[in-house]
Amino acid sequence: MDLQIRNLSKTYANGVHALKDVSLTIPAGMYGLLGPNGAGKSTLMRTLATLQEPDRGSVHLGDVDVLKDKERARESLGYLPQEFGVYPRESAERLLEHFAVLKGLTDRRVRRETVDALLHQVNLHDVRKQKLGGFSGGMRQRFGVAVALLGDPRLIIVDEPTAGLDPAERVRFLNLLSGLGERSVVLLSTHIVEDVAELCSRMAIIDRGTILLEGEPLREVEALRGRIWRKVVPRGELEALERTHAVLSTRLLAGRTVVRVYAEALPGEGFEPAEPGLEDVYFRVMGGHGVSRAVQPRLEVAS
Ligand SMILES: Nc1ncnc2c1ncn2[C@@H]1O[C@H](COP(=O)(O)OP(=O)(O)OP(=O)(O)O)[C@@H](O)[C@H]1O
């Protein structure tokens, strides 16, 4: 069962063209949707989750027409939004039970077993009697996953889940997600490149409503092997270098600037070959799209 997205377009009332003819085929497994803020990720996620309408296009999950048959689609859907409100005075166990009733788990025994298993799965069983108001950000996110997993969904949508989590919570949360992707489509939307690099077997990069790249992270990284170079440069030289080289990214390291450059062959004196990473793929694809950021990647090479 895969998710087929065809020619989705959406323009908001204020004229923002948030999705421009987006088509993707997403197989079972972890799929990363990567893009900067405002790229259109949430618009796409909310559309797939049947929470808003596109202007054009179609979405099929297996044989379910998601946009036309929303009721059926919702039965196979689990959605973890960027932020969700919880009832702070309820315990994790009680609130999950409540959501289970809403999801149609009416048999008391089955419901209890399901809730119990989910609390174990997201590692909240020990704290199931505690009030959600006292939970950390990571615990809330894991509770959100338990809610999203009710009813054994075929499509799990997770929108920007690791923003605001501390490193230990993040690792724990990503491990939890990676266990889900075997039978279902798990769609992870994020602006954090490492989340995708660590977890996803396939991915797409989106910016300004357009898919810029679709593929396998490992393969895309390998394709850059031998073409990524690094150099430590004094501050004053950076600007000149950016005019003559395809600078992908710069990073401050102990007061000096480390520059990463894309080039088919040794780009000049003082450069050394660097191990390519998904961040290089990302910056290379984003280059030339006029993204405003402190360091603007430039791909044109002056003659
Ligand atoms: N309800 C809305 N009305 C008008 N414009 C909107 C609305 N929702 C989103 N937008 C605009 O559409 C574009 C895409 O937004 P979207 O939230 O889908 O991006 P995103 O990739 O999820 O970014 P973020 O990580 O910031 O949420 C942005 O320019 C945003 O300002």
Each residue of 123-159: pLDDT tens digit? Answer: 899 999 999 999 988 888 889 889 989 988 999 999 8
Q: In the structure encoding, which two tokens stand for residue 152, read together?
A: 């054994």
Average pLDDT value for residue range 90-118 = 93
Position 160 confidence tier, pLDDT thresholds 50, 70, 90:
confident
Mean pLDDT of 158-167: 80
Between CA 67 and CA 55 the distance in angstroms is: 11
Is ligand 1 within 6 A of the CB of residue 137? Answer: no
Q: pTM of the prediction?
A: 0.86
- Name which of 30-44, 46-60, 182-196, 210-224 the model is least confident about: 182-196
Question: Which of 14-23, 37-46, 227-236, 250-259 shows the lowest mean pLDDT across its residues?
Answer: 250-259
* Paired sense of beta strands 3-11 and 56-61, if any: antiparallel
Does residue 47 line the site of ligand 1, with CB under 6 A? no
pLDDT tens per residue, range 198-236: 889 999 999 999 999 999 999 999 999 999 999 999 878
Q: What percentage of the chain exceeds 70 in pLDDT?
A: 94
Average pLDDT on 52-60 reads 97
What is the Å distance from ligand 1's center to 293 Cα? 18
Confidence band for 83, pLDDT divided at 50, 70 and 90: confident
Q: Give the residue, by CA position, lying nearest to ligand 1 atom 25.
A: 37
Residue of the CA atom closest to atom 5 of ligand 1? 12
- Position 166 scores a pLDDT of 81
Ligand 1 in reach of 161 Cβ (< 6 A): no
- Give the residue among 26, 48, 5 at the shortest CA–CA distance from 215: 26
Model ipTM over 0.85: yes
Mutating to test ligand 1, I would choose from 33, 41, 192, 291 the residue with most ligand atoms within 8 A of its C-beta, which is 41
Confirm if 176 and 19 have CB atoms less than 8 A apart.
no
User: For residue 242, what pLDDT is reported?
Assistant: 86
Determine whether the shortest distance from the Cβ of 292 to ligand 1 is under 6 A: no
